[in-house]
A and B are shown apart, each in its own frame.
Chain A
Amino acid sequence: MTTTATAAQDAGAGDEGPGGEGGTPRRGPDRGPGRAGRVRGRLHRWDVRYSPYAFVAPFFLFFAAFGLFPLLYTGWASLHRVELAAPDDMRWVGLRNYTRLLDDDFFWNALGNTFTIGVLSTVPQLLMALGLAHLLHYRLRAANFWRVALLTPYATSVAAATLVFVLLYGRDYGMVNWALGAVGIDPVDWQSGTWTSRFAVSSIVIWRWTGYNALIYLAAMRAVPDDRYEAAALDGASRWQQFRHVTVPALRPTILFTIVVSTIGATQLFGEPLLFGGAGGQKGGASHQFQTLGLYLYEQGWFFFHLGRACAVAWTMFLILLLIAAVNATVARRLRASH
């Protein structure tokens, strides 16, 4: 551990130009006065001035290499014809990948599905999380047990969770249909139905993330100052009114934060629909009824071998996210102004 740390830090320091040498720390203490002392003083100044850059350098180096560069290169590649078999062979096609995308019914289908499944999963998830957080905020016996239990799905991988839900949602022998049958409802073909499959995929997302969001809300609720509740109680506010007029407004920034995070997650939805579809899952069901943008990207790149088009899908997703972020910022500003 020590060696990794120091090696990495030295590497970081080396990249910082003139300060690099000065950052070298493991020099025995110089006891001699005079020249040695001056050297030491200079080393110390360099150390103070340049080591902060060395400390933040690893993050930015890795981010540049594996975050920023791929993002920009994706934009560049999306203007080319690139095939999976020969990724080096790029031919300029301008915006053709994008125009083809806009002409492709399956793209619009995937966009619509992403939006639908995103709403179906995010809205109930966050509402339930808010309610659960409110309950967890009471003084409870075994408070930690409830929190850990509700968070457990977070520790379950997309793959494991989806494979279990595939069985639970099975048409013929699934437990959900069995339970529905017990109350007299006909079995539902969860996988082939248009809305039923979207609902099923959403339920996996809801299952994995509700507890996590509940804890985030709970943390924010605990930060609400007592005196606001006292004032509300003095004014005769009922507990429901306190929840609506004290808790929810105080949680607004947190709620907006979770909406942004869930939206980013929903835009990238991939594992759940892929595995819910079984073999040939990249199609998102026999009639593409639950193919998301993530699956569409994967299908374009790794099943049709059109990496250039996959890049165009990726950049389109990025633009959508920027749009959402802009809308979100506007809404946040309005809310703040009206509050």
Chain B
Amino acid sequence: MTTTTTTDQPAPAPVPAGRPGHGPGAGTRRAGRQLHGGPVAYAVLAIFTVGSLFPLVWTAVAASRNSSRLARTPPPLWFGSNLARNLETAWTDANMGLALFNTVLVAGSVALGTVLFCTVAGFAFAKLRFRFKSVLLMLTIGTMMIPPQLGVVPLFMVVAELEWTDRLQSVVLPTLVSAFGVFFMRQYLVEALPTELIEAARVDGASSWRVVWHVVFPVARPAMAVLGMLSFVQAWNDFFWPIIALTQENPTVQVALTGLGRGYVPDQAVIMAGALLGTLPLLLAFTLFGRQIVGGIMQGAVKG
């Protein structure tokens, strides 16, 4: 992989224009960035892009065929005419309508809760002074090491005790906060929120809550949007806990798909139609907000 990049020899980069204020050595920018990608770089990226997108495109191809055509070689490479019928079957058989509604509800509440709780907590860690602050922050980061899967058995017992099996709150509540989110918001607010702004609001007699509402939230909006999208994607795709806490009676999309996929005589084309239904909303969001999501992940990566 990496050796291929060394063999390509792009033309010497032109002296970069713009980007002023780069210090005394402003003429030479970051070496890696400065170089243009050569044909080999594009070729390798293209191969990986095809590899990334092909399974998704083929899901749609398979969903537009019928199962007997899928059980033949060569496999179909282009779309057929059965898409509408397969979508309809998946919709009724796997309870996809209810599943989609549930998933939107779950992922929406999780995203909203995560954003609100993590923003206020991140603000406190970034800008307020209180005792035990550093201990609590270390504790928060430490919790990222604990995989949520470890608590499934007692969580299941609690849910069973409360008779919440098949109720959506059993999926929403355990994922309503995230240590990553707190840390992400803290790192953003440390730099983005000028302390003078808070002090000015305080001098004007604003309480902490008003500061949060009128100063922190507006400043934090870009990071809140990113965290909201990331939590939404994660909640939408969550699998292990929902499959234990919910049944096919009141499923999320992932639970419904599992039901489709584990039948004894599965209709492959219908399964693919179900997979398509469950993935399409996120793919749509990706084509619309892809840049922001990418930016958010990269931002979280540098600072995390």
Interface residues of A (CB under 8 A from B): 1, 4-6, 8-9, 23, 25-26, 29, 43-44, 47-49, 51-53, 55-56, 58-60, 62-63, 65-71, 73-74, 77, 87-88, 127-128, 130-132, 134-141, 144, 146-168, 172-175, 178, 181, 207, 210-212, 215-216, 218-224, 226-227, 229-230, 232-233, 238-240, 242-243, 247, 254, 257, 264, 267-268, 270-271, 274-275, 278-279, 281, 294, 297-298, 301-302, 307, 310-311, 314-315, 317-318, 321, 325
Contacts and interface: CB of A to CB of B under 8 A. Distances in A.
A271 B55 contact: no
Q: Which of A9, A158, A163, A267 has the most CB of B within 10 A?
A: A163
Interface string B218-256: 000000000000000100110110001000000001100
Interface in B243-283: 244, 253-254, 257-258, 260-264, 266, 268, 271-272, 275-276, 278-279, 282-283
A232 B28 CA distance: 13
A167 B187 CA distance: 43
Contacts of A55: 120-121, 123-124, 128, 208, 212
23 contacts: A4-B113, A55-B212, A58-B120, A58-B121, A66-B176, A87-B161, A130-B2, A131-B5, A132-B1, A134-B2, A152-B56, A160-B275, A163-B271, A164-B59, A166-B261, A168-B55, A175-B58, A215-B294, A254-B301, A275-B261, A278-B262, A318-B146, A321-B147
B6 A49 contact: no
Contact of A216 (B73, B266, B301): B301
Contacts of B150: 70-71, 74, 314-315, 317-318
A306 B247 CA distance: 20
A305 to B, nearest CB: 12
A70 B130 CA distance: 29
Contact of A173 (B75, B120, B257): B75
Interface residues of B, number: 126
A168 B117 CA distance: 42
B45 to A, nearest CB: 5
Contact of B237 (A73, A158, A219, A232): A158
B36 A66 contact: no
Given A223-B302, A307-B157, A155 B233 contact: yes
A52 B262 contact: no
Contact of B70 (A60, A68, A167): A167
A243 B302 CA distance: 19
A159 B275 contact: yes
Contacts of B22: 226
A52 B129 contact: yes
B49 A146 contact: yes
Contact of A52 (B45, B116, B130, B146): B130
B269 to A, nearest CB: 10
A88 to B, nearest CB: 8
Q: Which 5 A-B pairs have the closest CB atoms?
A: A70-B151, A131-B1, A229-B31, A148-B290, A138-B37
Contacts of A159: 239, 253-254, 257-258, 261, 275, 278
Nearest to B265: A279
A311 B156 CA distance: 12
B154 A70 contact: yes
Contacts of B154: 69-70, 73-74, 77, 311
A270 B286 contact: no
Given A157-B279, A174-B75, A229-B31, A207 B51 contact: yes
Contacts of A167: 62, 70, 268, 272
Contacts of B51: 207
B304 interface: yes
